[in-house]
Amino acid sequence: MSFLDIFMGILAGIDVTIKVTLLGMLYAVPFAFAFGIAQHFARGPMRMMVTTIIEFWRSSPIIVLIYGFYFSLPGLGVHLSAITVGSMVLGLNIGGYGSQAVRAALQALDKGQVEAGYALGLRRLPILWLIELPQALAAMTPTFINQFIQLVKGTSLVSLVTLADMTFVAKAISQINYAPAKIYTALLIAYFLMCYPATILGRMIEQRVSRGRGASHEF
């Protein structure tokens, strides 16, 4: 098989990779906002509970979470498909990281913003919705883009729970036609092509956010 054949063969798995990414985002984005905002507002035992849930998803190794949920849920009487488990675990893991970006961005805002909202006669919720979140969104965008890249790369883990994504297809090809150098180079390039545009976009936005902090120094 030529390099191009292998590359095209690997692309047969791109639909699963994209599907898991999109489903993962369906978990990650709501989780990040709900728990980031909750952690920002909650006090006392409520805050501890929110933090515990976030830390569980954020601080456990993702590969252990995927194996753990995939293998032990059936034993506990919960039967979910591999794609549901994979995208849920990946999404909530990334969402845990995202929630910290949401919370940090809300906390970094000037207090005067909320006070001005109160002075204008707004209630707490409209202040959050109309004043705090729109401003915080700019600050969290670079982190969100980085987390999106982590999610795309993380989808390679679903190959371990038998989903036929790009990594799984590459391994299948290597079983028929043992040419690891070609196959894994093609696989690296396939992921690189998916993630590189987001890497570039993230860097551009980061530079815009941190503009005016002085020129870079050469050694």
Partner 1 sequence: MSFDIDFAIAILPRILSTFGTTLWITVVGCLGAALLGFLWETVRRSTGIGRYAMRFVIDFIRSTPLLVQIYFFYFVLPEYGITLPALMVGVIALSLYYSGYLAEVFKAGIDSIPGGQFEAAKALGLSRVQLVVLVIAPQMLRNIAAPMGNYFVSLLKSTPYLAIIAVPEMLSIALEVASDTFRYTEPMVVVGAVFLSLALCFSGMVKMIETRLRLSPRAG
Tokens representing residue 13 in the block = 């798995």
190: nearest Cα among 144, 142, 155, 146: 155
Contacts of 51 (CB under 8 A, 6+ apart): 39
Separation between Cα atoms, residue 217 and residue 219, nearest integer Å: 7
User: Phi and psi (nearest 5°) for 128?
Assistant: -60, -50
DSSP state of 194: H
Which CB, 37 or 90, lies closer to partner 1? Answer: 90
- Minimum Å gap between C-beta 145 and partner 1 is 12
Separation between Cα atoms, residue 132 and residue 106, nearest integer Å: 7
- Minimum Å gap between C-beta 121 and partner 1 is 37
- Minimum Å gap between C-beta 60 and partner 1 is 5
- Minimum Å gap between C-beta 219 and partner 1 is 5
Q: Are 185 and 6 in contact (CB under 8 A)?
A: no
Which CB, 129 or 192, lies closer to partner 1? Answer: 192
CB neighbours of residue 17 within 10 Å: 26
- Minimum Å gap between C-beta 38 and partner 1 is 20
Which CB, 123 or 153, lies closer to partner 1? Answer: 153
Which CB, 2 or 125, lies closer to partner 1? Answer: 2
Handedness of CA 165, 168, 171, 177 (dihedral sign): negative
**Which residues sit at the interface with partner 1, rule CB under 8 A?**
55-56, 59-65, 67-68, 71-72, 75-76, 149, 153-157, 159-160, 167, 170-171, 174, 180-181, 184-185, 187-188, 191-192, 195-196, 199, 213-219
Which CB, 18 or 131, lies closer to partner 1? Answer: 18
- Minimum Å gap between C-beta 93 and partner 1 is 10
Which CB, 135 or 156, lies closer to partner 1? Answer: 156
- Residue 81, SS3 per DSSP: coil
